[in-house]
Structure 1
């Protein structure tokens, strides 16, 4: 039995080779091939192997390009560092995918599937590529706040800035109204659209429209004046100045 290994990380390749040999002693393992170019060259010059183990991300691109350049009829088990959700989606294409680091039990299951069904791979490249594309992140569009005994919804677009004071987080609107939130600034930084909000420092996240003035300050820092904010010492560190300028210019 001949197996071809396509993997650009040497430690991962060595581990996979060892695991395969434990499960299939006596097989011939060719490779390791670490790029699209080397894989295409090998497949054009050699008979089709009985099975291919192929990493998705190679040094010179996604391995799917291999199968656009050369006809491959061998069953393929892809290895990938993508999350479990993607793995389950990939399995719908009747191709096995293993999540790195390779789990020996998962590998044994994939090999047993190969041995029992002798799968001939049918790769829907367009569908798999679509699954691999970064999904557009959903950002928080509103916040539920408590006002006395009432619960009210405040749109994220109404927020001028967010601030942390004595371990309490506030949302302040452009009208100057302030509400307590049940989130930390670190949590909010992940929830908010980075095109609209910027983390100025450990105490403030500001919208673009709330920045009233910007002044140079000592040690290559910037001092920010926010609309309807009494804090006159909002400083942006030297390390963040470049990112802030890029954000403002975006």
Structure 2
């Protein structure tokens, strides 16, 4: 974090730096600017700071001239011996307006207000970013199955298809081995990459590699056979035909 102090009185600038250290122990505090000209030059040369402390009466004029010459979105805490500029101060990103000599309690309040605003801003930006960026969805890479007294982990790329029979869901590998899995076909479908697996009908969820043959069938339906599958009458409804063809053609 970088904090810039604009102050034409060295003792006041040094005291402010000392007061700020406990609140921003890791911050880079720049405190050697004391005129409108030097401040404008600095702001046009270097990246803008995260927080700005600014006296109003400087050696070469009123510091509000700085904000007329440089477009700033940096939060500002004004420090001044005069109270007549308060309204004008809050027109230029002012977080607070502190009267000299600065009361540590007033500074603590101003810093708390700044940190609160930064926190809210960070949350808002995070939410916006989360909404705008597509979430990277993760899919299962293996399924845990029980085989007799043994437990095995079957990689997804070894699975030919899933099917449901009498409310039990089965997993079948490319080698033709069958295993029971403890979840529904609907739950299984949500866990798999849709580029690799397709829900053919209420009974079958197949992998791309499992599709053996495809035939046209009555009423604009399709009939398919799956590798190592005993069921030779697997039908795809007319409503799902185009989706199935698109899946094959991706």
Distance 1:128 1:203 in 2: 40
1:153 matched to which residue of 2? 153
Larger Rg, first or second structure (1 or 2): 2
Count of residue correspondences: 140
Structure 1 residues 50-96: Cα deviation after superposition (integer angstroms, max 9, x where no partner): xxxxxxxxxxxxxxxxxxxxx999xxxxxxxxxxxxxxxxxxxxxxx
**Aligned pair 1:227/2:224, yes or no?**
no
Counterpart in 1 of 2:30?
none
Aligned 1:174-189 pairs, distance under 5 A: 174-189=174-189
1:246 alignment counterpart: 246
CA distance in 1, matches of 2:203, 2:191: 16
- SS of equivalent residue, structure 1 residue 206: strand
| CA RMSD after TM alignment | 2.7
- Aligned match of 2:16: none
Distance 1:156 1:179 in 2: 13
**Shift, 1:127, TM fit:** 4.7
TM-score normalised by L of structure 2: 0.51
Quote the Cα distance in structure 1 between the aligned partners of 2:146 and 2:117.
59
- Unpaired runs of 5+ residues, structure 2, are 1-71, 75-111
Distance 1:162 1:149 in 2: 22
Which position in structure 1 is the counterpart of 2:94? none
- Residue in 2 that maps onto 1:130: 129
Shift of 1:117: 5.4
What residue number does 1:57 align with?
none
1:1-250 correspondence to structure 2 within 5 Å: 123=121, 127-132=126-131, 133-250=133-250
> CA offset at residue 164 of structure 1?
0.6
Q: Deviations over 1:128-187 (max 9, x none)?
A: 443222211111111111111111110111100001111111100000000001011010
Q: Following the alignment from structure 1 to structure 2, what is the Cα–Cα distance between the partners of residues 237 and 136?
A: 31
